[in-house]
């Protein structure tokens, strides 16, 4: 199959509708990352999503709908605060987990009694979803475990030959996946952090909890969070902000051995490092927006990506660090004895 990257217009929308209605897949832009979309009511289509990505079958998918879609066809709204959240953040990078009515494929929900719903804030995506007027299951449009795509070309690099069409909506502005919020309880619970932060939710609802899905709990509330994620194809290492001299030493010694190391850091520390750098920016939002783009640039040019933890003081740092610490291996001296020597 020859994968085509198409601008969003009448022709590509018509073609994409045909593809979706034939239970095939279309990659679509959103404001967070690109999604790999298939008809949420079709077992056949949803199975193809898992297969194309190599995604573990116990990791449920988010269903995307346009802003005028009546999603009470799919889920129960258990608490009034949910309407306040919808007014405040939808369309936007917030996914709501609600009890479902059994209207979508069981493969979407992995047999859970809840379904995750999102209304993307991206003009082209809204146009596509409106044109279809159907619920679209869509995980990020990358091969499982790899860094999520934020351009149509990134999708092509991972899924060329596996899908017919990538709708090109430019570079995603948000840059990290949506906040996933369980709203089945009296108090909403963040299952995955993102650009809609706990403080923003508290300001609307009054309270908000956060589940650390990386803890070795028996029941993982957001199944996706237990998996390795976001990893670029080169070697990676993540340093604390107070370890810059050590990061520099590693860089210099790798270079001396003929390797290609590249730093990845925010603009506040970049002037303290000497060498090739991928700079992420200054504010939490800017860094989120650049994170995957720079990770994917890094894997193309570097043997070793030497990343420095982020701390801008912004609440968005939680979401950024959640991704960065899964994308990059924490620095351990024993991994680099041959390069750095014993202490």
Q: Interface residues with ligand AMP (CB under 6 A)?
A: 59-62, 97, 109, 112, 114-116, 139-140, 177, 180, 191-192, 222-225
Binder of residue 222, out of Mg ion, ligand AMP, none (CB less than 5 to 8 A by kind): ligand AMP
Nearer to ligand AMP, 170 or 223 (CB): 223
Q: First and final CA of the chain: distance in angstroms?
A: 54
Binder of residue 46, out of Mg ion, ligand AMP, none (CB less than 5 to 8 A by kind): none
Nearer to Mg ion, 17 or 173 (CB): 173
Burial of 247 (0-12, 13-18, 19+ CB in 10 A): buried
Dist. CA 150–CA 308, nearest whole Å: 21
Dist. CA 73–CA 117, nearest whole Å: 12
Nearer to ligand AMP, 40 or 115 (CB): 115
Give the pair of three-digit tokens for residue 198. 């706990």
Within the chain, strands assigned E span 4-7, 26-28, 35-39, 62-64, 94-99, 114-118, 136-137, 165-168, 179-182, 189-192, 209-210, 235-239, 261-265, 277-279, 304-308
Binder of residue 114, out of ligand AMP, Mg ion, none (CB less than 5 to 8 A by kind): ligand AMP
Helix then strand then coil, in percent of the chain rounded to 5, is 35, 20, 45
DSSP character for 214?
Answer: T
Number of residues that bind Mg ion (CB under 5 A): 1
What is the β-pairing status of strands 261-265 and 304-308? parallel
State the minimum distance, in angstroms, from the CB of residue 240 to ligand AMP. 26
State the minimum distance, in angstroms, from the CB of residue 26 to ligand AMP. 16
Cα R_g (the chain), whole angstroms? 20
State the minimum distance, in angstroms, from the CB of residue 143 to Mg ion. 10
State the minimum distance, in angstroms, from the CB of residue 81 to ligand AMP. 18
Within 151-283, strands assigned E span 165-168, 179-182, 189-192, 209-210, 235-239, 261-265, 277-279
Nearer to Mg ion, 180 or 287 (CB): 180
State the minimum distance, in angstroms, from the CB of residue 181 to Mg ion. 17
Nearer to ligand AMP, 114 or 197 (CB): 114
Binder of residue 289, out of Mg ion, ligand AMP, none (CB less than 5 to 8 A by kind): none
Nearer to Mg ion, 140 or 322 (CB): 140
* Stretch 133-162: interaction string toward Mg ion, x if CB under 5 A: -------x----------------------
Q: Does 32 bind Mg ion (CB under 5 A)?
A: no
Nearer to ligand AMP, 85 or 180 (CB): 180
State the minimum distance, in angstroms, from the CB of residue 184 to ligand AMP. 9
**What does the binding site for Mg ion look like in residue numbers (CB under 5 A)?**
140
């Amino acid at each position: 199959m020859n994968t085509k990257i198409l601008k969003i217009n009448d022709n590509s929308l018509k073609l994409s509708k045909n593809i979706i209605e034939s239970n095939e897949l279309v990659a679509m832009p959103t404001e967070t990352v690109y999604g790999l979309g298939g008809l949420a009511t079709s077992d056949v289509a949803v199975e193809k999503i898992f297969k194309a990505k190599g995604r573990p079958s116990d990791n449920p998918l988010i269903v995307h709908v346009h802003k005028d879609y009546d999603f009470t066809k799919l889920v129960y709204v258990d608490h009034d605060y949910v309407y306040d959240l919808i007014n405040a953040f939808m369309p936007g990078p917030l996914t709501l987990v609600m009890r479902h009515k059994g209207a979508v494929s069981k493969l979407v929900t992995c047999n859970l009694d809840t379904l995750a719903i999102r209304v993307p804030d991206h003009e082209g995506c809204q146009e596509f979803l409106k044109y279809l007027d159907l619920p679209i299951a869509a995980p990020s449009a990358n091969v499982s475990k790899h860094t999520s795509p934020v351009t149509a070309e990134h999708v092509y690099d991972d899924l060329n030959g596996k899908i017919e069409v990538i709708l090109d909506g430019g570079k995603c502005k948000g840059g990290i996946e949506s906040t996933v919020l369980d709203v089945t309880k009296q108090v909403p619970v963040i299952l995955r952090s993102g650009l809609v932060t706990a403080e923003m939710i508290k300001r609307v609802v009054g309270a908000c909890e956060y589940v650390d899905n990386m803890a070795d709990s028996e029941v993982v509330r957001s199944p996706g969070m237990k998996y390795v994620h976001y990893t670029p194809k080169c070697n990676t290492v993540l340093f604390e902000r107070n370890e810059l001299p050590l990061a520099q030493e590693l860089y210099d010694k790798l270079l001396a051995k003929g390797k290609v190391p590249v730093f990845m850091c925010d603009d506040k520390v970049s002037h303290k490092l000497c060498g090739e750098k991928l700079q992420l920016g200054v504010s939490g939002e800017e860094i989120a927006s650049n994170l995957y783009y720079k990770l994917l640039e890094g894997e193309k040019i570097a043997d070793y990506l030497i990343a420095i933890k982020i701390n801008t003081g912004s609440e968005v740092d939680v979401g950024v660090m959640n991704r960065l610490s899964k994308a990059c291996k924490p620095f351990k001296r024993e991994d680099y004895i041959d390069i750095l020597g014993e202490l």
